[in-house]
Amino acid sequence: MKVEAGDSVKFHYVGRFENGEVFDTSYEDIARKNDIFVEEREYGPLEVTVGAGEIIPGLEEAMIGMEVGEKKTVTVPPEKAYGMPRQELVVKIPVSEFTQVGLEPIEGMYVMTDSGIAKIVTVTEDGVELDFNHPLAGKTLVFEVEVVEVKKGSEGAN
């Protein structure tokens, strides 16, 4: 049974950068081996509805036509992943926005704001530069995918 748009699919994956560094995985042992293990995370196959926009487009497209037990390695360019970084998502705010709530801004730190998560790019006397781009924006990603279960469109609906 081949994966089609609208199907509910469970799959395992390993996400790597082009240099081979693992940045995410559904396998606990691989996460531990690559020092990216997160204690609070539940490892195991991810379940999505293909075509519903729940995962990046390049990964969805790669799963179309796959069957249970099939493994595939797919290279996903930024345009089919998290896009290219956009300059309008980099903003400068006054340092006082941090100090008035008792925070010291540190370059490289991620902060939660009313507008979402941002990375602190620079800290100067003038202000703090925040980058709201996705951390994987601009990156070509390589995924190893294994389909473990497929429920045809109407079967997957609850």
Is the same domain home to 59 and 108? no
Is the same domain home to 36 and 113? no
Task: Give per-10-residue mean pLDDT for the chain (158 aa).
Answer: 96 98 98 97 97 96 97 98 97 92 93 93 94 96 98 66
Q: What per-residue confidence (pLDDT) applies to 157?
A: 46
Q: What per-residue confidence (pLDDT) applies to 154?
A: 67
Scored b (16 or more CB within 10 A) or e, 65-79 reads: ebeeeeeeebebebe
Number of domains in the chain: 2
Residue at token pair 């990964």: 59
Q: Are 76 and 24 in contact (CB under 8 A)?
A: no
Two tokens at 57? 């487009």
Is the same domain home to 102 and 124? yes
Is the same domain home to 47 and 121? no
Distance CA 1, CA 7 (A): 11
Q: Are 47 and 9 in contact (CB under 8 A)?
A: yes
- Sign for the CA dihedral angle at 114, 84, 38, 146 comes to positive
Is the same domain home to 22 and 47? yes
Is the same domain home to 63 and 96? no
Which of 68, 49, 44 is closest to 60 using CA atoms?
Answer: 49
Give the CATH number, domain containing residue 118.
Answer: 2.40.10.330
Domain that holds residue 110: 87-131
Is the same domain home to 42 and 65? yes
